[in-house]
Structure 1
Amino acid sequence: MKLGLPKESHSGEQRVALIPANVTILMKKQLQVIVESGAGLQAGFTDDDYVKVGATIASSREALLTEADIITVVNCKGDQFDEISAVLKPHQLVIGMMDPLVNPQNAQTIANTGGSAIALELIPRITRAQSMDVLSSMATISGYKAVLLAAHKAPRLFPMMMTAAGTLKPSRAFIMGVGVAGLQACATAKRLGAVVEAYDIRPAAREQIISVGAKPVELDIEAENTETKGGYATEQSDDLLKRQQQAMANVLAQQDIVITTAAIPGRKAPVLITKEMVDGMKSGTIIVDLAAESGGNCELTQVDEVIMHNGVMILGPSNVPSTAANHASQMYGKNVENLLNLLINNEGELVLDFEDEIVRDTVVAHGNDVSSARLRELLNLAPLTAPESPSEETA
């Protein structure tokens, strides 16, 4: 069976879906790995690095996309999605991040080709799937890099310094939303010497905030149901968001650095910081909005733009993990490697066992149909009839 690794053509993408170390492991599964020339170059991996571990460099991108039984990419969106779906054949499987809850119609497009697709954003948050969770891996990098972006732009240093020229007070950093990205941001800001505070609507987050050396901010508001089964924050009512904003204004006015991370899969990001709240912040404050791609947690955020408002700088970076392409590729590749180890048997055959929760949740198109229950609901398609006996299909 042939595993194809194309060069990313999605705009601004510098990561690669598999690094040479992953190829070494996957070849033990009797896979033939085909790599497009230059696929790993921006992440620090040359063609020779792949050849040394047994991969073959494809004669062309077209040949790779045609010959590979499995195509694995980072961003299967936009032009790259269009390119792959245009040539996909019934025996082929494409694996990558597809933003399926925002673009469920792409699953239908794949289904129409007869091919199969796995959307990595849908990896279930269960213990057995932690090693395959690309969202958590990439969020770790986003949280770390957000602090570095803020430090680079800030007019103040992070740590306290006692010098012959006087004592410099430490910067105050505030993290809004403490999932994986938020906790990493807390830890990174703390390591740089800032006084770190954090807030999350989920009560369970308090101990997590303390565990990384930050101080939890308590707001005197009554919370609603705050956490999904998968551990994500739930979408809150307009009334709760308004009360949260009012209580948060005084906290924000004291900060030098603010990093927002609140995002809900498939939904517009909640507005946590209004224009009026920014008006009340100190001149020189930096806001890094990690939810910019889904609308932004700050009302003034614009994707990939730097906005100045009354002396406050608002950054809305997109695809932050790509800016640390080497380690991001290492983490992403390990997630994909672990998933492929589940899907490919010892004879080198791809087996999609829909009795397995991981397979059932992540496969969005298979057998000329949209196979994901979540996406079928979004597309207003009738539920699929469950098989009477365990379903094991080989692609």
Structure 2
Amino acid sequence: MKIGVVRESHEGEARVALTPQSAEQIAKLGHECMVEAGAGSRADISDDLYRAAGVEVVETAADVFDRCDVVAKVRPPTEDEVERLREGQTLISFFYPAENEELMKRASEKGATLIAMDMVPRISRAQKMDALSSMANIAGYRAVIESANNFGRFLTGQITAAGKVPPAKVLVVGAGVAGLAAIGTATSLGAITYAFDVRPEVAEQVQSMGAEFVFLDFEGEQGAGEGGYAAPSSPEFREAQLAKFRELAPDIDIVITTALIPNREAPELWTEDMVKAMKPGSVIVDLAAEKGGNCKLTVKDQRIVTDNGVVIIGYTDFPSRMAKQSSTLYATNIRHMLTDLTPGKDGQINHNMDDDVIRGATITHKNDVTWPPPKPKQAAQAQPAKREKPKEKTAAEKRADEAAAFATQTRNQVGMLAIGALLLLIVGAYAPESFMSHFIVFALACFVGFQVIWGVAHSLHTPLMAVTNAISGIVILGALLQIGSGNLLVIFLSLVSVLIASINIVGGFLVTRRMLAMFVKS
């Protein structure tokens, strides 16, 4: 079958649904690829690169629609593009069916199949086709880069001859895919990063990325909704949330808002009084601008500066600002969708409506509107078991634990000393006085050495090699002094000490050499 890709007609859209690399993979499924001339030019992909990958380049979008069985796009189709569809033809693109019901009905009347990449269910098996996550990942990364470009200082802290520069403080509202990408980018650039989400179960993910999770002291709110998205919040929770943001606003340098709820307007989370409380030169990047914005003052697709000097960025084309990377990820999502649609290697599309992923993403099929889809059989996201917060111990309980630990340690040490004293008595009853003085030194050395080395954390044992090599050298020196004592037992123990210490030194140098080799540039 022929898979075709057209040049995006939406103003400012630079992405393309096919790359030369994805075309080569699609060809292995038994399909032929076709692309409209200039479709990849804004993503730095020339027509010659497509031709080199075996893709046929045609002059107009009409040629693609007329000759291809499957047409792939990025943006939702225009009315003219829907009119070009024919019976049995498949269109794969973002669609947002709740906002484009008339177009969806018109496509079904024409007998075309529509697959909406924004409707791919969020289940484990469908992650490779999750285009929303792919684009959100890029948007989160780009939001931090854009905010840094508009921020008048370093994001990381620096100490220079000219003075100390404090690190920027970044607050990310919403810890979904875009939010986590923003957190990772901000922390890697050296900013002090805070993150808030209505789903407390994401706190561990936030903390694992080096950010501090902003907890809200509010009982009884369940923030997780279907598909891993946040659920709408109650008025009481929202007021507590806004109060927390008002508390943070004066100290935050950069705010990145990412909060969205499917098929709803973006919730207002950063109000006008919060903007006024921020320092001049602060930056707000509103990733929810296309749905109305999380900030009260956001203007869609514009960068504005408020009266108090706060920059508010409401761009909706962050993925297009990194068109080459976005196209690579989106084309890979499309290729995986085609792989599921082509289970055999005969190049024929098998639209299996019993498959959770295909059924969930299909919004029209065989003259029927199939949106909204039924819930997938596989749960979108397993809800984590509710864990009770461990009860903090009182001061009295802590003192009792410390006393018990001290008593246990004391008993162990007394026991070891008792055993040592018993051995000394037994040996002293039969050994000469000259031997006893050496034996006591030996026993004390063993005891002290054990206590010192045993108290070192396992992660520090390898760096400890340098110290133990020095100690082993002292042991060898002492043993050599004892060899000439004339006592056979002392001579024997001295020889054993020299042997063991020598093994320790040789092994220490070998391990140290291997460690140093890891840091040598090849």
TM-score, shorter chain, exceeding 0.5: yes
Match of 1:113 among 101, 110, 117: 110
How far does residue 313 in structure 1 lie from its aligned partner after superposition?
Answer: 1.3
Name the structure 2 match of 1:50.
50
Aligned AA (1:352): H
Q: Which amino acid aligns with 1:197?
A: Y
Output the CA distance in 2 between the equivalents of 1:217 and 1:16.
Answer: 38
Q: Deviations over 1:278-323 (max 9, x none)?
A: 1222222100000000010001111011222222111111021010
Partner of 2:265: 268
Aligned to 1:360: 359
State the 1:175 CA deviation. 0.5
- The CA deviation at 1:41 is 1.2
1:330 Cα deviation after fit? 0.6
Please report how far the alpha carbon of residue 100 of structure 1 lies from its aligned counterpart in structure 2 after TM superposition: 1.8
User: In the alignment, what sits opposite 1:278?
Assistant: 275
Q: Is the 8 A contact 1:176 1:198 kept in 2?
A: yes
The count of aligned residue pairs is 372
Contact 1:142 1:181 in 2 (8 A): yes
Q: Over aligned residues, Cα RMSD in angstroms? A: 1.3
Name the amino acid aligned to 1:373.
Answer: P
Q: For 1:197 and 1:336, how far apart are their aligned partners in 2?
A: 35
Where do 1:11-160 residues align within 5 Å? Answer: 11-76=11-76, 80-160=77-157
Distance in 2 of aligned mates of 1:127 and 1:44: 32
Q: Decide which structure has the larger Cα Rg and report it.
A: 2
CA distance in 1 between partners of 2:327 and 2:24 (Å): 15
Matches within 5 A, 1:283-294: 283-294=280-291
Q: Secondary structure at the match of 2:227?
A: coil
- Structure 1 residue matching 2:290: 3-state secondary structure: helix
More strand per residue? 1
Letter in 2 for 1:68: C
More helix by share: 2
148 and 98 in structure 1: CA distance in 2 versus 1, 3 angstrom threshold? same
Q: Aligned partner of 1:105: which letter?
A: E
1:304 is aligned to 2:304: no
Aligned match of 1:239: 236
Could you tell me how far 1:102 is from its partner in structure 2? Answer: 2.6
Tell me if structure 1 keeps the 8 A contact 2:79–2:103: no
Q: 2:88, 2:366 within 8 Å by CA — same for their partners in 1?
A: no
In structure 2, distance between residues paired with 1:156 and 1:347: 58
Inter-partner Cα distance in structure 2 for 1:293 and 1:193:
29
- Larger mean Cα displacement after TM superposition, 168-177 or 28-37: 28-37
| Residues 173 and 259 in structure 2, CA contact (< 8 A), matched pair in contact too | yes
Give the 4+ runs in structure 1 shifted more than 6 A: none
Corresponding position of 2:178: 181
Asked if structure 2 preserves the Cα contact closer than 8 Å seen for 1:101 and 1:265, the reply is no
Q: Is the 8 A contact 1:201 1:223 kept in 2?
A: no
Contact 2:271 2:296 in 1 (8 A): yes
State how far apart, in whole Å, the 2-side matches of 1:67 and 1:254 are. 59
Cα displacement (A) at 1:134: 0.3
In the TM superposition, residue 59 of structure 1 has moved relative to its aligned partner by 3.8
Once residues 238 and 108 of structure 1 are traced to their aligned partners in structure 2, the CA distance between those partners, rounded to angstroms, is 37
Counterpart code for 1:204: E
CA contact (8 A) 1:173 1:257 kept: yes
Deviation at 1:374, TM superposition (A): 4.7
- CA offsets 1:75-120 (integer angstroms, 9 cap, x no match): 12xxx42121011000210000012233233221211111110010
Which of 307, 311, 314 is 1:313 aligned to? Answer: 311
Distance 1:101 1:224 in 2: 28
Structure 1 equivalent of residue 225 of structure 2? 228
